[in-house]
Amino acid sequence: MKSWLALSALLFSTALLASESESVKNSTLNSTLNTTQPSVLQSLAERVEINTVIDALSYPKAITTVVDKEKSTTHIIITTRDGELIVVNDERKVSRFTLPLDILYTKGQGGVLDILIPFTYPQDKTVLLSYSKGSDEVNHLAVVKAQLSLTAGISDVQLVLDVAQSKDTPVHYGGKLLQIDNVTKGENAKEHAFLVTTGDGFDYREQAQVVTSQLGKVLGFTINGKPLAAPAFPEAPYVFTLGHRNPQGLVHGADGQIFLHEHGPDGGDELNLLQKGNNYGWPVVTLGKDYSGARISPFSEYAGMAGPLVDWTPSIAPSSMLYYINSKQPHFSNTLLVTSLKAKALFAVSHDKNGYTSTKVFDALNERLRDIAVDSDGNILLLTDGESAKVFKLSFKESYTAKN
């Protein structure tokens, strides 16, 4: 009874926020996403060679790359839950460094969550990191900036953003970072604009619909920790979007669109087109159910709340995402590649006149996939999950590169 009363209160409050426009419809969205047929995308396993780049990684959380296009070299950057930074150069030389983070909290789904290399690197060596901070009783998501040397590690760590609401659960942090300078307007755009996802804390799901709470949101901020110009919600200037459960993958496509995916409960994992000011519904709207089997909400859509482009039910547990561009592989270029934990597979999302389609394209590793990146040659780097994880490189075979 208590949960239904809470839902009723949410419906009343969110009705005040809802615009007069209808929910977002998949088929009406313009996109430059790949229109390749799913049967072609499914041939990825046949088109690549698989090699191990590094193994024996203890609970890695994120992978990214520093690519020197002039020299055609790639440094692979990996961060682990417990605060280790690992750098792998083109010769496979591995360097390991400790991340000096204040009150790093590593229980449950916590730890170091993401690392972002801004567009200005290496001229400006500032990078961003997100992590969970605090204790069992009081913890929250934090974002810091620091100086990254590929040979000496991280230094000069400075706080950028502390999520305002603390919680006593070790789960649902979000923590994915994205730079959006090229799609942000306003007086603060020159300061470099960023987004970070925040989870609902699991036991605090109603907070996702409370505008003034920073739980269950995507937050916008500058490198100096200020809110972005012209906020969607003046009373909550950091809030870019609301109504999220545990948002993970966050990327923008070639035309400036921003895509985000998030974990549903039991089913109802979502891929969304992220637009400033939108409400994505959780927990008023969901296509999943509670882990107990109970219904969370009677609504699969609701006026003024944006619906997903893709619904993954049963759940795949999407973990990260990449907008893949490679002129040598037109069948796969301009495709969203989504890693998954539960499904142990890589999915490709394409688009045609009928909407968006998710296709399982690679499951040969039979491993939980934590994150994804690309190197200077367009090869796909897959980071697996767990106490003895690896990075695998998927290199397109020359025969397929030649034939496309």
**DSSP letter string over 82-140?**
TSEEEEE-TT--EEEEE---TTB--STT-SEEEEE--TTTTTS-EEEEEEEEE-SSSEE
pLDDT value of residue 368: 98
pLDDT value of residue 27: 35
Structure tokens at 263: 């974990």
How many separate domains does the chain show?
A: 1
pLDDT value of residue 12: 44
Structure tokens at 357: 């389609």
Structural domain boundaries, residue 184: 2-403
Q: Which residues of the chain have pLDDT under 50?
A: 1-2, 4-5, 8, 12, 15-29, 183-189, 402
Q: Which residues contact 327 (CB under 8 A, 6 or more apart)?
A: 333
Each residue's pLDDT tens digit, 80-114: 999 999 999 999 999 999 999 999 999 999 999 99
Residue among 48, 50, 46 nearest 393 (CA) = 50
Give the global pTM: 0.91
* C-alpha torsion 182→118→376→61, nearest 10: -120
Q: The domain that contains 393 carries what CATH number?
A: 2.120.10.30
User: How far apart are alpha carbons 347 and 356 in whole angstroms?
Assistant: 12
Beta-strand (E) ranges in 199-354? 217-222, 239-242, 246-252, 258-263, 269-274, 310-312, 318-324, 335-340, 346-352
Going by their DSSP bridges, the two strands 310-312 and 269-274 should be labelled as: antiparallel
Each residue's pLDDT tens digit, 375-401: 999 999 999 999 999 999 999 987 665
* C-alpha torsion 96→100→105→108, nearest 10: -20
User: How far apart are alpha carbons 63 and 320 in whole angstroms?
Assistant: 10
* Bridge partner list, 49: 395
